[in-house]
Structure 1
Amino acid sequence: MHHGRINSRASLFHRNIRTFEESYCEHCNEVVETIEHIFILCLNARGVWNRLGVSSRPDSWRHPWLLGTELQLPPSVHHDVILLILWHIWKARNAVIFDHQTSTPRVVLQRVLHDMDPWRCRYKKLSSQWTTSRACIRNCL
């Protein structure tokens, strides 16, 4: 993400794959869909971050490890949880474009929680931290 290699509509326009008229966000209509817009500024993404109590700083997408520092996530799993949230924001964006299905920020966070369960086995030594992170997300629903 911070390398700028995600196929946002703006990047597809700059590579002459899409026209400028096709470069707008599906949610916001009048805003060009940049990487920053997808993950931070879009109404849907902003709704997710607002539910979590995370302020959306304009350049935070360039440094995803700084995202969500306001959350009370244990440091040992913080990065993984934030990446999972970003993944589900991306999936929600793709569902709008390809399946014409919108998801509320609450639904996005429910999907994050649902995906945290299968990953629990990766955190055997950090089980309590993973459980704390899950509770932190659940409390934001």
Structure 2
Amino acid sequence: MNEIWKLNIPPKVKIFFKVKIFAWLLSRGRLKTKTRIASFCDNNDTVCQLCRLGDEDLNHVFFSCPFASGVWQNAGINIYDFSSFDAWFLSWFRKGYHKVNTENLIVLCWKIWEARNNLIFRQKTVSPIMVVHAAATLEAGFRDNNLVRDTFPLSHYGIIKWTPPPPGVFKLNFDGSVRDKNKAAAGFVIRDHDANPIFAGSRSFGSSSVPIAEGSALRDGLYHAFLLKCKKLIVEGDSKLIIDAAKNNCTVPWRLRTLFKDIWFLSSQFEEVAFIHIPREANLVADAVTNHAHSSPTPTTWKQKLPFSAFSAFNFDYFSSSCSRGFAL
């Protein structure tokens, strides 16, 4: 499986293995699953820690385990055309295979294995959708920093669609915009795992720039999520600058530094928070809520509802299957 070494996957991850070494071990069936350990030492505990429903071997961990199935489902990947993980894994390297797709699958496997190890050794749990977001962020960040020409869009498996968070987690989408004479507006929406709006807000604040409008929307959304006592939060926005700055992945422009002191402080108040950059087409409701502020002179909030002007975007998120880049309502 020499193709493993040609893949453009992060050569080093701080926790546990190098990803390429992990991929090589995976291809050779040498990962230390519980059943493999039991084959050469006295170990009676072979039950999968992630689901407690089956013996932990490679096929179970990455294919038949309900946790793994949840990861593939949230990533929009169909695994049901294959009878086993081995058969599926070999298909990733067939003649004419798409290199970026294989890289994405390898990193998703790495993140599943990392979730398994964190549960066993650190008693830390994550949801399948958090694994998908973490894998997307890892690969996207690596490609951005290494000038890879093959893009890794947040619609990383060929679809663009807003997806609800898992149970117990809330999702915050934010947006900012500037119109005539630099009139800026900011808006956000917080939704639950059933895609129901929990809280939304928008406001205009005179002459400003798009980054300040986007950052203000993020700060407003985090503040209200904190007031609502949301403990776990996924934050999505279509401004790469604001998302990268929130994650400390770039130098914050001086005009935004005071704003980001508030953002970082508010972020620290949650048990778990993940910042995700998404295409504009997956941020339609936040965009519609923001647009409301351009026609309203006073700040407006909505509890468990949305402005009428956002209904089309909400229905699209709720009922549509996906859309392509450039889509607009």
Q: TM-score, normalised by structure 2?
A: 0.36
For 2:149, the equivalent position in structure 1 comes to 125
Identity of aligned residues (%): 20
Per-residue deviation, residues 49-104 of structure 1 (Å, max 9, x unmatched): 1122323333234552535xxxxxx9241111111111101101111111111111
Q: Which has the larger radius of gyration?
A: 2
1:82 to 89, 105, 114: 105
**Contact residue 36 and residue 58 of structure 1 kept, 8 A:** no
Q: Is the alpha carbon distance of 1:97 and 1:139 closer, same or farther for their aligned partners in structure 2, counting shifts above 3 Å? A: farther
Task: Report the Cα distance in structure 2 between the residues aligned to 1:103 and 1:61, rounded to whole angstroms.
Answer: 25
Task: Report the Cα distance in structure 1 between the residues aligned to 2:62 and 2:117, rounded to whole angstroms.
Answer: 12
The yes-or-no answer on 1:55 pairing with 2:78 is yes
Task: Report the Cα distance in structure 1 between the residues aligned to 2:128 and 2:57, rounded to whole angstroms.
Answer: 19
Q: Is the alpha carbon distance of 1:23 and 1:125 closer, same or farther for their aligned partners in structure 2, counting shifts above 3 Å? A: same
Q: Quick one: which amino acid aligns to residue 41 of structure 2?
A: N
Q: Is the alpha carbon distance of 1:140 and 1:7 closer, same or farther for their aligned partners in structure 2, counting shifts above 3 Å? A: farther
- Would you tell me which structure has more helix in proportion to its own residues? 1
Task: Report the Cα distance in structure 2 between the residues aligned to 1:110 and 1:53, rounded to whole angstroms.
Answer: 12
Unmatched tracts of structure 1, length 5 or more: 68-73
For 1:109, the equivalent position in structure 2 comes to 132
For 1:12, the equivalent position in structure 2 comes to 37
For 1:135, the equivalent position in structure 2 comes to 155
Q: Quick one: which amino acid aligns to residue 152 of structure 2?
A: W
1:45 to 68, 75, 79: 68
**Contact residue 11 and residue 34 of structure 1 kept, 8 A:** yes
Q: Give the alignment's Cα RMSD to 1 decimal.
A: 2.4
Per-residue deviation, residues 84-133 of structure 1 (Å, max 9, x unmatched): 1111011011111111111111110111122123311335322xx323xx
- Would you tell me which structure has more strand in proportion to its own residues? 2
Give the secondary structure class of the aligned counterpart of 2:152: helix
Task: Report the Cα distance in structure 1 between the residues aligned to 2:161 and 2:36, rounded to whole angstroms.
Answer: 36
The yes-or-no answer on 1:27 pairing with 2:47 is no
Q: Is the alpha carbon distance of 1:55 and 1:14 closer, same or farther for their aligned partners in structure 2, counting shifts above 3 Å? A: same
Q: How does 1:87-106 map to 2 (within 5 A)?
A: 87-106=110-129
**Contact residue 24 and residue 30 of structure 1 kept, 8 A:** yes
Task: Report the Cα distance in structure 1 between the residues aligned to 2:36 and 2:113, rounded to whole angstroms.
Answer: 15
Q: Quick one: which amino acid aligns to residue 125 of structure 1?
A: R
**Contact residue 48 and residue 54 of structure 2 kept, 8 A:** yes
Task: Report the Cα distance in structure 2 between the residues aligned to 1:140 and 1:92, rounded to whole angstroms.
Answer: 24
Task: Report the Cα distance in structure 1 between the residues aligned to 2:70 and 2:103, rounded to whole angstroms.
Answer: 20
Unmatched tracts of structure 2, length 5 or more: 1-25, 164-329
Q: Quick one: which amino acid aligns to residue 27 of structure 2?
A: H
Q: TM-score, normalised by structure 1?
A: 0.77
Q: Is the alpha carbon distance of 1:13 and 1:65 closer, same or farther for their aligned partners in structure 2, counting shifts above 3 Å? A: same
Bigger relative CO (Cα 8 Å, ≥ 6 apart): 1
Count of aligned pairs between the two proteins: 129
Give the secondary structure class of the aligned counterpart of 2:107: helix
Per-residue deviation, residues 21-69 of structure 1 (Å, max 9, x unmatched): x1101122241101111111111111001122323333234552535xx
Deviation, 1:135, is 2.2
